[in-house]
Amino acid sequence: MKLPLSLCFLFFSLGLCAQQTQDLEGTWRWTSPNGEDNFELSLEYIDGSKIRGKHCSVYHNGEKMDCQNNENDYSISLIKIAKNIYDGTIESRYSATAGRIRVQYHPTDVSLSFVLKAYPPGEFYLPDRALMYR
C-alpha cells in the first residue's frame, strides 16, 4: 500500500512542478487604451530559471513596427530573480539596441506585468509599462 501511495505523491509533485515552469511560457498581448498601439511577447523556458523570447510592437496604427520575426533569433533574454519575477534585456529591432526589462507573472489573474527599466539607445517602439494577458 505504501508503494502506490508514494507513486501517487511523486506523480502529483511532478505535475505541479511541470505546471509551475509553464506559467510564463506562451504568447502575451497588450493593447494601448486608445487602440493605436499593440505589443506581443512570445516566451519559452530554456530551463527553470531562464527564459528567451521574441517581441512584436506595432505602433501608430501600424506606421511603426519593432518586431523580431527571424525564426531562430530571440530578442528577449530573462533570468529569474525571485518567485514569478524575471529581469533581463529586450533588443529593439528598430534600432538594434537593447534595453533592460522586468516581467512579473501574476497567477491570481493570469497576467504578466512588463516594465521597461532602461530604454534602448536610439529610436524604439516599446511600451514603458504594460499589463499583458494571453
Condensed to tens digits (0 to 9), the pLDDT of residues 68-99 reads 988 889 999 999 999 999 999 999 999 999 99
CA distance 2 to 112: 41
Give the three cell numbers for residue 14.
511532478
Q: What is the pLDDT of residue 69?
A: 84
Per the CB < 8 A criterion, the answer to whether 114 and 132 are in contact is: yes
Look over the chain and give the mean of its residue pLDDT values, rounded to a whole number.
Answer: 88
Condensed to tens digits (0 to 9), the pLDDT of residues 96-134 reads 999 999 999 999 999 999 999 999 999 999 999 999 999
Condensed to tens digits (0 to 9), the pLDDT of residues 16-31 reads 444 444 589 999 999 9
